Amino acid sequence: MDILTLLLIFLIFFAIFLFVTANKKQNIKAPAVKKEELIQDYKNQMKELLSKYENDKQLQTQEKIKLLKKINHDLSMNLFFEKEEATKLLKELSTLK
């Protein structure tokens, strides 16, 4: 009877464990989706910066350079982007008006 009780307790804990781990669904995005979100976020940042400093072109240029340097650093550390892709994106961002 003692072994049967231990087995029953073990099965109950095992069922609880399976229930808890089955309910932990992770929302993992595909790399292409993450990449597109990052690109769109960088474009939005650049557009916000350009609209914020549209009256002062010199300050706009300085802030644009700062943002491009920050984005370049972020992209160099990001595993999703190859060097060529990062360069292409930076060129695209630098030509936004």
Confidence of residue 25 (pLDDT cuts 50, 70, 90): low
pLDDT at 23: 67
Q: What is the mean pLDDT of the segment spanning 17-33?
A: 70
pLDDT at 33 over 80: no
User: What distance in Å separates the CA atoms of residue 4 and residue 95, rounded to the nearest whole number?
Assistant: 74
- 61-92 per-position pLDDT tens digit: 999 999 999 999 999 998 888 999 999 999 99
